[in-house]
Amino acid sequence: MSKRSTILRTGISGFLLTALAALWLWYPQYRAGRPALAPAQLPDGPFVALTFDDGPRASTTSVLLDELSRRGVHATFFVIGENVAGNEDLLLRMEREGHQIGLHTFHHRSLAQVNGADFYAEVDKLRESLSELLGREDFMLRPPFGMITPANRARAGAPIILWSVDPEDWSDTDSDRQTALILDNITDGGIILLHDIYPSSVETALRVVDELMAQGYRFVTVEELFALRGVTPENGTEYRRLPPAEE
C-alpha cells in the first residue's frame, strides 16, 4: 500500500471516529424511562442545561433557534399549550434540530392550585397536543412558578424539572444583570431558567452560551444531562440540577 493511501485511510478513519463521538454526545437519544448511560461512558464536562419557559413565540423563539444552531447548542423548551397552535413549525424545528420539548401547562396555571380535573386540562391536554404533533408521549414537566402539590406530583406521569439558576428575566430587560447572575452562580450540572418570549432574554441566553462555552462548558438538553450523569429520571420526582457523581 502506498504512503499516500495509508495517510488517506488514516484520515478517513479519524474523521469517522470523531463523527461517531459527536453523534453520540449530541443526538437526543435518551428518553425518560430508558436505561441511563454507565458512568464509564461519560465524556468530559462540565455540562449545563439551558431551559426556556412560556414559549414558543415566533418573533423571539425563531431568532433564538437560529443563533443556537449557529453555535451547535441544544436547549430545552417548556412550552405553553396556548402557544402551540400557529407555532407548530417552530416546535417541529426544535425536534428536528435536537432540542428537547417539555410541558409547562396549557394556560400557565399554578399546579399548586388545581384539582385532578383541572390538572388534566392543564397538563394532559398539552401532552396530548404535543403527542399528536410530534408522535411521542415522553415529555418532562416544569410546573409554573416551580409549585406543585404532592397529589399533582403523583398525577404528573413525568419527571418534574425545576432549576438551579434563575435570573428572573421576566422582571426587567437588563441583560447585563441577568448574564452576571447566571455566570456567578452556574455550576457543573446546573439547569438555567430563562424565557424565550423576551428579546432581552434571548440576548442573555446567547451571551451566557458564548461565555460558558469559552470556559469549557458543554450545553445539553435536560434529558441528555440525565443520560450523561447516569441517572434515570423518575416520574413525580423533582430535579434542580444533576451534579457530577463525586458531589
Per residue, the 3-state secondary structure of 146-213, as one string, reads: HCECHHHHHHCCCCEECCCECCCCCCCCCHHHHHHHHHHHCCCCEEEEEECCCHHHHHHHHHHHHHHH
CA-based end-to-end distance of the chain: 52
56 in a structural domain: yes
Tallying the residues shown for the chain, one arrives at: 247
Phi, psi of 160 (to 5 degrees): -110, 115
146 in a structural domain: yes
202/207 Cα distance (integer angstroms):
9
Residue whose C-alpha cell reads 397536543 in the numeric block: 129
**Domains contained in the chain, number:** 1
Residue 45 pLDDT: 82
Q: What is the pLDDT confidence band of residue 29, given thresholds at 50, 70 and 90?
A: very low
Residue 43 pLDDT: 65
Supply the mean pLDDT for the chain: 87
Select from 36, 31, 33 the least CA-distant residue to 134: 31
Q: Which domain holds residue 154?
A: 44-239
77 in a structural domain: yes
Residues noted as catalytic? 53, 195
**Residue 219 burial (CB count, 10 A):** 22
246 in a structural domain: no
112 in a structural domain: yes
163 in a structural domain: yes
91/73 Cα distance (integer angstroms):
16
Task: Pull the grid cell for residue 24.
Answer: 453520540
190/225 Cα distance (integer angstroms):
9
165 in a structural domain: yes
Whichever domain contains 97, its CATH number is: 3.20.20.370
Task: Pull the grid cell for residue 78.
Answer: 417548556
Residue 245 pLDDT: 84
Q: What is the pLDDT confidence band of residue 213, given thresholds at 50, 70 and 90?
A: very high
Q: What is the pLDDT confidence band of residue 247, given thresholds at 50, 70 and 90?
A: low
Task: Pull the grid cell for residue 94.
Answer: 426544535
Report pTM.
0.84
Q: What is the pLDDT confidence band of residue 64, given thresholds at 50, 70 and 90?
A: very high
- The pLDDT tens digits of the residues spanning 142-177 come to 999 999 999 999 999 999 999 999 999 999 999 999
64 in a structural domain: yes
β-pairing, 190-195 with 47-53? parallel
